[in-house]
């Protein structure tokens, strides 16, 4: 469970900073008020998975650019 010294406002701010949409934040806060730790973990894991997918997509785009840069450097 999240430390009870955390205010709801700081939790919401943290969720927004993590890129959570408003509906996810509302759902999270509902489960938080119910002390439903398994659902809180599920929501956070889901958001983490989405962010990691975005990282991997960006990494693939970087590889494409790196390949083009490499071919331009070696085209002399």
Do residues 24 and 43 lie in contact, with contact meaning Cβ atoms separated by under 8 Å? yes
Residue 1 maps to a domain: no
Within-domain flag for 35: yes
How does pLDDT run across 55-65, given as a tens digit for each residue? 999 999 999 99
Q: Given a cut of 90, is residue 70 above it in pLDDT?
A: yes
What residues make up the domain containing 59? 8-73
The per-residue pLDDT of the chain, averaged, comes to: 94
> Considering the domain boundaries, does residue 38 fall inside one?
yes
Cβ 47 vs Cβ 18: under 8 Å = yes
Answer whether residue 2 is part of any domain: no
How many CB atoms lie under 10 A from the CB of residue 47? 17
Q: Is the pTM of this model over 0.85?
A: no
Give me the number of domains the chain comprises.
Answer: 1
Q: What is residue 76's three-state secondary structure?
A: coil
The per-residue pLDDT for 1 is 54
Query: Is 17 inside any structural domain?
Result: yes
pLDDT digits (tens, 9 = 90+) for 1-24: 566 667 999 999 999 999 999 999
With respect to residue 32, please indicate whether it lies within any of the assigned structural domains: yes
Tokens 């469970």 sit on residue: 1
Query: Per the domain annotation, does 3 fall within a domain?
Result: no
43 within some domain: yes
């Amino acid at each position: 469970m999240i430390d009870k010294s955390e205010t709801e406002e700081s939790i919401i701010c943290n969720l927004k900073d993590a890129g959570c949409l408003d509906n996810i934040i509302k759902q999270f806060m509902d489960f938080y008020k119910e002390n439903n730790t398994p659902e809180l973990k599920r929501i956070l894991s889901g958001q983490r998975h989405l962010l990691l997918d975005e990282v991997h997509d960006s990494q693939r785009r970087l590889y494409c650019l790196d390949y083009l840069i490499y071919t331009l450097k070696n085209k002399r």
